[in-house]
């Protein structure tokens, strides 16, 4: 997706403040915070989540990245929908961003192609294994 939009979002949000809306974080040192991961909520979750200024990582479930990755993993959303969700929350208007619209259009095309190919996989397998 649009690198410019994601960079803008990442630079606009202090990630520990954002993630602390979903779980309690404790400042460990400098810009490092630790807490329970709200994504997997497992038994091994005591201090598995490490959050810094712009990135997070959970040592238990291996989720990590920026605010967009966090929202995508937390809400189980595709990356482009997570971008839109974060932009909506931050009052960032994507409707006039031509670069973002173009990239969404490309993703949509490839998603439709992948779906079409997945729907026809049985026919392809049948052809390869029986008719050849």
Mind listing the pLDDT tens digit for each residue in 38-77? 998 766 666 678 899 899 999 888 999 999 999 999 999 9
- The per-residue pLDDT for 42 is 66
- The per-residue pLDDT for 47 is 66
Does the pLDDT of residue 120 top 60, yes or no?
A: yes
- E strand or H helix at 50: strand 49-51
Does the pLDDT of residue 89 top 60, yes or no?
A: yes
pTM above 0.95, yes or no: no
Q: pLDDT grade, residue 80 (50/70/90)?
A: confident
- The per-residue pLDDT for 68 is 95
Does the pLDDT of residue 124 top 80, yes or no?
A: yes
d(CA 78, CA 108): 12
Does the pLDDT of residue 2 top 60, yes or no?
A: no
Does the pLDDT of residue 131 top 90, yes or no?
A: no
- The per-residue pLDDT for 43 is 62
Q: The tokens 């779906």 sit on which residue?
A: 115
Q: What percent of the chain has pLDDT over 90?
A: 49
Alpha helices in the chain (DSSP H): 3-12, 15-19, 67-75, 79-89, 98-119, 121-126
């Amino acid at each position: 997706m649009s690198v410019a939009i994601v960079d803008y979002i990442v630079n606009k949000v202090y990630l520990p403040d954002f993630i602390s809306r979903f779980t309690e974080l404790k400042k460990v040192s400098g810009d490092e915070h630790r807490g329970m991961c709200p994504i997997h909520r497992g038994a091994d979750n005591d201090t598995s989540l490490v959050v810094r200024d712009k990135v997070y990582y959970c040592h238990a479930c291996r989720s990590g990245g920026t605010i967009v990755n966090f929202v995508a993993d937390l809400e189980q959303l595709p990356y482009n929908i997570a971008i839109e969700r974060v932009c909506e929350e931050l009052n960032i208007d994507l409707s006039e961003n031509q670069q973002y619209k173009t990239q969404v259009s490309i993703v949509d095309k490839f998603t439709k192609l992948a779906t079409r190919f997945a729907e026809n996989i049985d026919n392809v397998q049948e052809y390869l294994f029986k008719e050849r």
